[in-house]
Amino acid sequence: MTTKQNAVVVGAGIVGLAAARALAERGYRVHVFEKNTKAVGASIRNFGMVWPIGQPAGPLYERAMRSRQIWQSLCEQGKFWHAPAGSLQVAYRPDELQVLEEFRDGNTGKRNCSLLTATEALNCAPLLRQEGLLGALFSPDEMVVNPREAIQLLPDLLSEQYDITFHFGTAVTGIDNGTVYTGGEQYPAEQVIVCGGQEFESLYPEVFRQSPVTKCKLQMMRSSALPTPKQAEPAICGGLTLTHYSSFKECPSLPQLQQRIAQEYPEYVQWGIHVMCSRNGQNELVIGDSHEYGPVHDPFDRAEINRLILEYFNTFTNIPGLNIAQSWNGTYLKMTQGTELVAKPEEGVTIVNGLGGAGMSLSFGLLEEVVGGLEQ
Protein backbone atom coordinates (compact mmCIF):
# COMPACT_ATOMS: atom_id res chain seq x y z
CA MET A 1 0.00 0.00 0.00
CA THR A 2 1.50 3.32 -1.07
CA THR A 3 -1.02 5.58 0.72
CA LYS A 4 -2.13 4.90 4.25
CA GLN A 5 -5.76 4.04 4.70
CA ASN A 6 -7.69 4.24 7.93
CA ALA A 7 -8.88 1.21 9.83
CA VAL A 8 -10.86 0.88 13.04
CA VAL A 9 -10.83 -2.04 15.46
CA VAL A 10 -13.63 -2.41 18.01
CA GLY A 11 -12.45 -4.14 21.18
CA ALA A 12 -8.97 -4.33 22.76
CA GLY A 13 -8.99 -7.94 23.91
CA ILE A 14 -6.64 -10.46 22.30
CA VAL A 15 -8.62 -10.62 19.04
CA GLY A 16 -8.68 -6.83 18.78
CA LEU A 17 -4.97 -6.55 19.51
CA ALA A 18 -4.23 -9.16 16.85
CA ALA A 19 -6.45 -7.31 14.37
CA ALA A 20 -4.71 -3.99 15.07
CA ARG A 21 -1.29 -5.54 14.55
CA ALA A 22 -2.28 -7.32 11.34
CA LEU A 23 -3.83 -4.14 9.87
CA ALA A 24 -0.81 -2.02 10.80
CA GLU A 25 1.51 -4.63 9.28
CA ARG A 26 -0.30 -4.06 5.98
CA GLY A 27 0.11 -0.30 6.16
CA TYR A 28 -3.15 0.88 7.71
CA ARG A 29 -3.43 3.74 10.18
CA VAL A 30 -5.35 2.02 12.97
CA HIS A 31 -7.66 3.32 15.71
CA VAL A 32 -8.68 0.82 18.42
CA PHE A 33 -11.75 1.56 20.55
CA GLU A 34 -12.33 -0.18 23.87
CA LYS A 35 -15.38 0.75 25.92
CA ASN A 36 -13.62 -0.03 29.22
CA THR A 37 -10.62 1.87 30.54
CA LYS A 38 -8.67 -1.37 30.11
CA ALA A 39 -9.37 -4.88 28.86
CA VAL A 40 -11.27 -6.77 31.57
CA GLY A 41 -12.99 -9.62 29.71
CA ALA A 42 -12.11 -13.19 28.82
CA SER A 43 -8.72 -12.15 27.42
CA ILE A 44 -7.36 -11.65 30.94
CA ARG A 45 -9.42 -14.40 32.61
CA ASN A 46 -7.62 -17.43 31.26
CA PHE A 47 -4.57 -19.66 31.74
CA GLY A 48 -2.38 -17.58 29.44
CA MET A 49 -1.68 -20.76 27.50
CA VAL A 50 -0.71 -20.54 23.84
CA TRP A 51 -1.83 -24.06 23.00
CA PRO A 52 -1.01 -25.67 19.62
CA ILE A 53 -1.43 -29.14 21.19
CA GLY A 54 -5.19 -28.51 21.31
CA GLN A 55 -5.49 -27.99 17.56
CA PRO A 56 -5.71 -30.82 15.01
CA ALA A 57 -2.79 -31.25 12.62
CA GLY A 58 -3.15 -29.12 9.52
CA PRO A 59 -4.27 -25.50 9.06
CA LEU A 60 -5.42 -24.92 12.65
CA TYR A 61 -2.18 -26.29 14.09
CA GLU A 62 -0.18 -24.15 11.68
CA ARG A 63 -2.26 -21.11 12.66
CA ALA A 64 -1.56 -21.81 16.33
CA MET A 65 2.16 -22.17 15.66
CA ARG A 66 2.16 -18.85 13.79
CA SER A 67 0.40 -17.25 16.75
CA ARG A 68 2.98 -18.71 19.09
CA GLN A 69 5.77 -17.27 16.97
CA ILE A 70 4.20 -13.80 17.13
CA TRP A 71 3.54 -14.11 20.86
CA GLN A 72 7.15 -15.02 21.59
CA SER A 73 8.45 -12.15 19.45
CA LEU A 74 6.20 -9.62 21.18
CA CYS A 75 7.05 -10.94 24.65
CA GLU A 76 10.76 -10.66 23.91
CA GLN A 77 10.41 -7.16 22.47
CA GLY A 78 8.23 -5.94 25.33
CA LYS A 79 10.14 -7.91 27.98
CA PHE A 80 6.91 -9.58 29.14
CA TRP A 81 7.17 -12.69 31.26
CA HIS A 82 6.66 -15.85 29.21
CA ALA A 83 7.53 -19.52 29.58
CA PRO A 84 8.01 -21.49 26.34
CA ALA A 85 8.24 -24.74 28.30
CA GLY A 86 5.73 -26.93 26.44
CA SER A 87 2.98 -29.11 27.89
CA LEU A 88 2.48 -32.45 29.62
CA GLN A 89 -0.63 -34.58 29.14
CA VAL A 90 -0.41 -37.06 32.02
CA ALA A 91 -1.83 -40.58 32.22
CA TYR A 92 -2.83 -42.35 35.42
CA ARG A 93 -5.12 -44.91 33.80
CA PRO A 94 -4.33 -47.42 31.01
CA ASP A 95 -6.99 -45.98 28.66
CA GLU A 96 -5.46 -42.50 29.02
CA LEU A 97 -2.02 -43.85 28.17
CA GLN A 98 -3.46 -45.65 25.15
CA VAL A 99 -4.93 -42.40 23.80
CA LEU A 100 -1.57 -40.68 24.27
CA GLU A 101 0.21 -43.47 22.42
CA GLU A 102 -2.27 -43.22 19.55
CA PHE A 103 -1.86 -39.44 19.44
CA ARG A 104 1.92 -39.75 19.27
CA ASP A 105 1.75 -42.38 16.54
CA GLY A 106 -0.85 -40.46 14.53
CA ASN A 107 1.19 -37.25 14.63
CA THR A 108 4.54 -38.66 13.60
CA GLY A 109 6.00 -36.21 11.09
CA LYS A 110 3.20 -33.69 11.73
CA ARG A 111 4.25 -32.21 15.06
CA ASN A 112 6.97 -32.67 17.65
CA CYS A 113 5.78 -34.71 20.62
CA SER A 114 7.09 -37.67 22.57
CA LEU A 115 5.88 -40.14 25.18
CA LEU A 116 7.69 -39.94 28.53
CA THR A 117 8.01 -42.63 31.16
CA ALA A 118 6.69 -41.90 34.64
CA THR A 119 10.21 -41.15 35.87
CA GLU A 120 10.88 -38.78 32.98
CA ALA A 121 7.55 -37.00 33.58
CA LEU A 122 8.34 -36.54 37.30
CA ASN A 123 11.73 -35.08 36.44
CA CYS A 124 10.00 -32.69 34.05
CA ALA A 125 7.26 -31.68 36.52
CA PRO A 126 8.05 -32.50 40.19
CA LEU A 127 4.59 -31.34 41.34
CA LEU A 128 3.05 -34.47 39.76
CA ARG A 129 1.75 -37.22 42.04
CA GLN A 130 4.04 -40.21 41.76
CA GLU A 131 1.54 -42.86 42.82
CA GLY A 132 -0.16 -44.39 39.80
CA LEU A 133 1.59 -42.27 37.17
CA LEU A 134 1.98 -44.36 33.98
CA GLY A 135 3.53 -41.80 31.65
CA ALA A 136 2.93 -38.50 29.89
CA LEU A 137 2.89 -36.96 26.45
CA PHE A 138 5.35 -34.06 26.16
CA SER A 139 4.94 -31.38 23.50
CA PRO A 140 7.48 -28.51 23.26
CA ASP A 141 5.13 -26.27 21.25
CA GLU A 142 3.16 -24.67 24.08
CA MET A 143 3.96 -21.40 25.82
CA VAL A 144 2.49 -19.61 28.84
CA VAL A 145 2.15 -15.86 29.29
CA ASN A 146 0.52 -13.93 32.12
CA PRO A 147 -2.65 -12.63 30.41
CA ARG A 148 -3.30 -10.02 33.10
CA GLU A 149 0.09 -8.52 32.36
CA ALA A 150 0.44 -9.14 28.64
CA ILE A 151 -2.99 -7.87 27.54
CA GLN A 152 -2.45 -4.64 29.50
CA LEU A 153 1.09 -4.04 28.20
CA LEU A 154 0.60 -4.96 24.54
CA PRO A 155 -1.23 -1.73 23.58
CA ASP A 156 1.79 0.39 24.56
CA LEU A 157 4.15 -1.93 22.70
CA LEU A 158 1.99 -1.97 19.56
CA SER A 159 1.63 1.82 19.68
CA GLU A 160 5.42 2.17 19.80
CA GLN A 161 5.96 -0.20 16.88
CA TYR A 162 3.09 0.76 14.57
CA ASP A 163 0.74 3.56 13.58
CA ILE A 164 -1.88 2.42 16.09
CA THR A 165 -3.85 4.69 18.44
CA PHE A 166 -5.80 3.21 21.33
CA HIS A 167 -8.95 4.90 22.69
CA PHE A 168 -9.80 3.32 26.04
CA GLY A 169 -13.01 4.22 27.82
CA THR A 170 -14.60 4.98 24.44
CA ALA A 171 -17.62 3.00 23.28
CA VAL A 172 -18.53 2.61 19.62
CA THR A 173 -22.20 3.50 19.28
CA GLY A 174 -22.71 2.86 15.58
CA ILE A 175 -21.15 1.98 12.25
CA ASP A 176 -22.63 3.22 9.00
CA ASN A 177 -21.33 3.50 5.45
CA GLY A 178 -17.65 3.52 6.37
CA THR A 179 -17.98 5.78 9.39
CA VAL A 180 -17.55 4.71 13.00
CA TYR A 181 -19.43 6.71 15.64
CA THR A 182 -18.21 7.03 19.22
CA GLY A 183 -20.65 9.40 20.90
CA GLY A 184 -19.82 12.85 19.58
CA GLU A 185 -16.90 11.72 17.39
CA GLN A 186 -16.84 10.25 13.89
CA TYR A 187 -14.04 8.21 12.33
CA PRO A 188 -14.09 7.38 8.61
CA ALA A 189 -12.42 4.06 7.84
CA GLU A 190 -11.81 1.90 4.80
CA GLN A 191 -11.86 -1.19 7.02
CA VAL A 192 -13.59 -1.85 10.33
CA ILE A 193 -13.06 -5.04 12.33
CA VAL A 194 -15.48 -5.71 15.21
CA CYS A 195 -13.86 -8.02 17.75
CA GLY A 196 -15.65 -7.47 21.07
CA GLY A 197 -18.45 -9.92 21.79
CA GLN A 198 -20.74 -7.37 23.45
CA GLU A 199 -20.14 -4.89 20.62
CA PHE A 200 -20.94 -7.57 18.07
CA GLU A 201 -24.20 -8.30 19.86
CA SER A 202 -25.22 -4.63 20.21
CA LEU A 203 -24.00 -3.20 16.88
CA TYR A 204 -25.26 -6.07 14.70
CA PRO A 205 -28.00 -7.80 16.73
CA GLU A 206 -29.61 -9.48 13.75
CA VAL A 207 -26.31 -10.97 12.57
CA PHE A 208 -25.63 -12.09 16.14
CA ARG A 209 -29.05 -13.72 16.41
CA GLN A 210 -28.56 -15.66 13.18
CA SER A 211 -24.98 -16.74 13.88
CA PRO A 212 -24.14 -20.25 15.16
CA VAL A 213 -22.72 -19.03 18.48
CA THR A 214 -23.43 -19.61 22.14
CA LYS A 215 -21.97 -18.13 25.30
CA CYS A 216 -19.63 -20.16 27.47
CA LYS A 217 -18.95 -19.44 31.15
CA LEU A 218 -15.80 -20.88 32.70
CA GLN A 219 -14.53 -20.94 36.29
CA MET A 220 -10.87 -20.80 37.29
CA MET A 221 -8.69 -20.33 40.36
CA ARG A 222 -5.25 -19.01 41.28
CA SER A 223 -3.12 -20.30 44.12
CA SER A 224 -0.90 -18.30 46.44
CA ALA A 225 2.78 -18.35 45.51
CA LEU A 226 4.19 -21.83 46.05
CA PRO A 227 6.85 -22.22 48.75
CA THR A 228 8.92 -24.48 46.49
CA PRO A 229 11.52 -22.88 44.18
CA LYS A 230 10.17 -21.82 40.81
CA GLN A 231 11.39 -23.75 37.79
CA ALA A 232 10.63 -23.78 34.10
CA GLU A 233 8.12 -26.58 33.73
CA PRO A 234 5.43 -27.48 31.22
CA ALA A 235 1.76 -26.70 31.67
CA ILE A 236 0.08 -29.86 32.99
CA CYS A 237 -3.20 -31.51 31.94
CA GLY A 238 -5.05 -34.39 33.61
CA GLY A 239 -6.78 -37.22 31.78
CA LEU A 240 -10.09 -35.34 31.48
CA THR A 241 -8.41 -32.90 29.11
CA LEU A 242 -8.06 -35.62 26.47
CA THR A 243 -11.83 -35.46 26.00
CA HIS A 244 -11.86 -31.67 25.62
CA TYR A 245 -9.52 -30.71 22.77
CA SER A 246 -10.37 -31.53 19.18
CA SER A 247 -6.81 -32.66 18.42
CA PHE A 248 -7.40 -35.91 20.33
CA LYS A 249 -10.56 -36.84 18.40
CA GLU A 250 -8.40 -38.66 15.86
CA CYS A 251 -7.41 -41.27 18.49
CA PRO A 252 -9.33 -44.54 17.90
CA SER A 253 -9.71 -45.40 21.59
CA LEU A 254 -10.99 -41.97 22.66
CA PRO A 255 -14.69 -43.06 22.63
CA GLN A 256 -13.92 -45.76 25.20
CA LEU A 257 -12.15 -43.20 27.40
CA GLN A 258 -15.10 -40.82 27.06
CA GLN A 259 -17.49 -43.60 28.06
CA ARG A 260 -15.46 -44.45 31.16
CA ILE A 261 -15.26 -40.79 32.19
CA ALA A 262 -19.01 -40.35 31.70
CA GLN A 263 -19.61 -43.27 34.05
CA GLU A 264 -17.07 -42.29 36.71
CA TYR A 265 -17.35 -38.50 36.55
CA PRO A 266 -20.91 -37.56 35.54
CA GLU A 267 -20.75 -34.23 37.41
CA TYR A 268 -17.60 -33.28 35.51
CA VAL A 269 -19.32 -33.98 32.21
CA GLN A 270 -22.38 -31.99 33.35
CA TRP A 271 -20.29 -28.88 34.03
CA GLY A 272 -17.82 -29.38 31.18
CA ILE A 273 -14.91 -29.70 33.59
CA HIS A 274 -11.45 -30.69 32.51
CA VAL A 275 -8.47 -29.92 34.71
CA MET A 276 -5.12 -28.36 33.87
CA CYS A 277 -2.72 -25.85 35.38
CA SER A 278 -0.01 -23.39 34.45
CA ARG A 279 2.56 -21.66 36.66
CA ASN A 280 2.96 -17.91 36.21
CA GLY A 281 5.89 -15.59 36.79
CA GLN A 282 4.91 -15.05 40.44
CA ASN A 283 5.21 -18.80 41.14
CA GLU A 284 1.41 -19.09 41.39
CA LEU A 285 -0.64 -21.86 39.80
CA VAL A 286 -3.63 -21.06 37.60
CA ILE A 287 -6.05 -24.00 37.83
CA GLY A 288 -9.27 -24.77 35.95
CA ASP A 289 -11.66 -24.97 34.31
CA SER A 290 -15.36 -25.56 33.60
CA HIS A 291 -17.66 -24.88 30.63
CA GLU A 292 -21.34 -23.89 30.93
CA TYR A 293 -23.14 -23.13 27.67
CA GLY A 294 -26.20 -20.98 27.06
CA PRO A 295 -27.40 -17.45 26.25
CA VAL A 296 -27.35 -16.18 29.86
CA HIS A 297 -25.27 -17.26 32.86
CA ASP A 298 -25.33 -16.80 36.61
CA PRO A 299 -22.72 -14.06 37.25
CA PHE A 300 -21.50 -15.74 40.44
CA ASP A 301 -19.07 -18.62 40.88
CA ARG A 302 -20.42 -22.04 41.81
CA ALA A 303 -18.55 -23.38 44.86
CA GLU A 304 -19.41 -26.93 43.79
CA ILE A 305 -17.56 -26.51 40.48
CA ASN A 306 -14.43 -25.21 42.20
CA ARG A 307 -14.57 -28.15 44.63
CA LEU A 308 -14.78 -30.66 41.79
CA ILE A 309 -11.89 -29.02 39.94
CA LEU A 310 -9.64 -29.14 43.00
CA GLU A 311 -10.59 -32.71 43.86
CA TYR A 312 -9.56 -33.91 40.42
CA PHE A 313 -6.47 -31.67 40.44
CA ASN A 314 -5.32 -33.44 43.61
CA THR A 315 -5.54 -36.84 41.88
CA PHE A 316 -2.55 -36.02 39.67
CA THR A 317 -0.59 -33.44 41.69
CA ASN A 318 1.09 -33.45 45.08
CA ILE A 319 1.32 -29.92 46.47
CA PRO A 320 1.25 -29.83 50.28
CA GLY A 321 -0.45 -26.77 51.71
CA LEU A 322 -1.89 -25.54 48.41
CA ASN A 323 -3.83 -22.36 49.13
CA ILE A 324 -6.37 -20.88 46.71
CA ALA A 325 -6.01 -17.10 46.70
CA GLN A 326 -8.60 -16.16 44.09
CA SER A 327 -11.52 -17.54 42.10
CA TRP A 328 -13.23 -15.96 39.10
CA ASN A 329 -15.32 -16.65 36.03
CA GLY A 330 -15.23 -15.46 32.46
CA THR A 331 -17.57 -15.60 29.48
CA TYR A 332 -16.78 -15.83 25.77
CA LEU A 333 -18.57 -16.62 22.53
CA LYS A 334 -18.12 -20.11 21.14
CA MET A 335 -19.21 -21.55 17.84
CA THR A 336 -21.83 -24.28 17.79
CA GLN A 337 -20.67 -25.03 14.23
CA GLY A 338 -17.19 -24.36 12.90
CA THR A 339 -14.04 -22.99 14.54
CA GLU A 340 -14.53 -19.20 14.37
CA LEU A 341 -16.95 -16.58 13.09
CA VAL A 342 -15.83 -14.25 10.31
CA ALA A 343 -18.82 -12.30 8.99
CA LYS A 344 -19.22 -9.26 6.75
CA PRO A 345 -22.46 -7.48 7.73
CA GLU A 346 -21.82 -4.51 5.43
CA GLU A 347 -19.23 -3.17 3.02
CA GLY A 348 -15.90 -2.57 4.73
CA VAL A 349 -16.95 -4.19 8.04
CA THR A 350 -15.74 -7.57 9.27
CA ILE A 351 -16.81 -9.32 12.49
CA VAL A 352 -14.29 -11.73 14.00
CA ASN A 353 -15.38 -13.69 17.05
CA GLY A 354 -16.35 -17.10 18.35
CA LEU A 355 -12.87 -18.49 18.93
CA GLY A 356 -14.06 -19.92 22.24
CA GLY A 357 -11.23 -20.84 24.56
CA ALA A 358 -8.65 -20.70 21.75
CA GLY A 359 -8.33 -16.92 21.50
CA MET A 360 -4.86 -16.78 23.03
CA SER A 361 -3.73 -19.65 20.78
CA LEU A 362 -5.19 -18.63 17.42
CA SER A 363 -5.88 -14.88 17.28
CA PHE A 364 -2.60 -13.60 15.89
CA GLY A 365 -2.50 -16.23 13.15
CA LEU A 366 -6.20 -15.94 12.32
CA LEU A 367 -6.16 -12.15 12.01
CA GLU A 368 -3.18 -12.25 9.68
CA GLU A 369 -5.29 -14.50 7.44
CA VAL A 370 -8.41 -12.34 7.75
CA VAL A 371 -6.65 -9.03 7.08
CA GLY A 372 -4.67 -10.58 4.25
CA GLY A 373 -7.95 -11.46 2.55
CA LEU A 374 -9.68 -8.09 2.91
CA GLU A 375 -8.37 -6.66 -0.35
CA GLN A 376 -8.57 -9.80 -2.45
What are the pLDDT tens digits along the chain (376 aa)?
Answer: 456 899 999 999 999 999 999 999 999 999 999 999 999 999 999 999 999 999 999 999 999 999 999 999 999 999 999 999 999 999 999 999 999 999 999 999 999 999 999 999 999 999 999 999 999 999 999 999 999 999 999 999 999 999 999 999 999 999 999 999 998 899 999 999 999 999 999 999 999 999 999 999 999 999 999 987 777 789 999 999 999 999 999 999 999 999 999 999 999 999 999 999 999 999 999 999 999 999 999 999 999 999 999 999 999 999 998 999 999 999 999 999 999 999 999 999 999 999 999 999 999 999 999 999 997 6
Residue 326, domain member (yes or no): yes
pLDDT of residue 3: 67
pLDDT of residue 229: 73
pLDDT of residue 376: 66
Considering the domain architecture, whether residues 124 and 267 belong to the same structural domain is answered as: yes
Considering the domain architecture, whether residues 229 and 291 belong to the same structural domain is answered as: yes
At 267, which CATH number?
A: 3.30.9.10
pTM for this prediction? 0.96
Question: Could you please report the per-residue DSSP string of 115-164?
Answer: EEPHHHHHHH-TTB--TT--EEEEES--EEE-HHHHHHHHHHHHHHHSSE
Residue 82, domain member (yes or no): no
Considering the domain architecture, whether residues 304 and 326 belong to the same structural domain is answered as: yes
Considering the domain architecture, whether residues 325 and 238 belong to the same structural domain is answered as: yes
Identify which of 153, 158, 165 has the alpha carbon closest to the alpha carbon of residue 8: 165
b/e per residue 69-97 (b: at least 16 CB within 10 A):
ebbeebbeebebebbbbbbbbbbbeebbb
Considering the domain architecture, whether residues 217 and 310 belong to the same structural domain is answered as: yes
* Total domains in the fold of the chain: 2
pLDDT of residue 232: 76
Residue 247's domain comprises 87-140+213-335
CA distance 178 to 213: 26
Residue 136, domain member (yes or no): yes
Considering the domain architecture, whether residues 325 and 343 belong to the same structural domain is answered as: no
Peptide bond into 95 cis (omega under 30): no
| Interacting residues of 131 by C-beta distance below 8 A, sequence separation 6+ | none
Residue 66, domain member (yes or no): no
Considering the domain architecture, whether residues 255 and 114 belong to the same structural domain is answered as: yes
Considering the domain architecture, whether residues 188 and 327 belong to the same structural domain is answered as: no
At 19, which CATH number?
A: 3.50.50.60
Considering the domain architecture, whether residues 234 and 351 belong to the same structural domain is answered as: no
Residue 223, domain member (yes or no): yes
Residue 54, domain member (yes or no): no
Identify which of 360, 298, 344, 312 has the alpha carbon closest to the alpha carbon of residue 75: 360
Considering the domain architecture, whether residues 221 and 329 belong to the same structural domain is answered as: yes
Question: Could you please report the per-residue DSSP string of 4-63?
Answer: --EEEEE--SHHHHHHHHHHHHTT-EEEEEESSSS--SGGGSS--EE-GGGSPTTHHHHH
Considering the domain architecture, whether residues 276 and 305 belong to the same structural domain is answered as: yes
Considering the domain architecture, whether residues 292 and 177 belong to the same structural domain is answered as: no
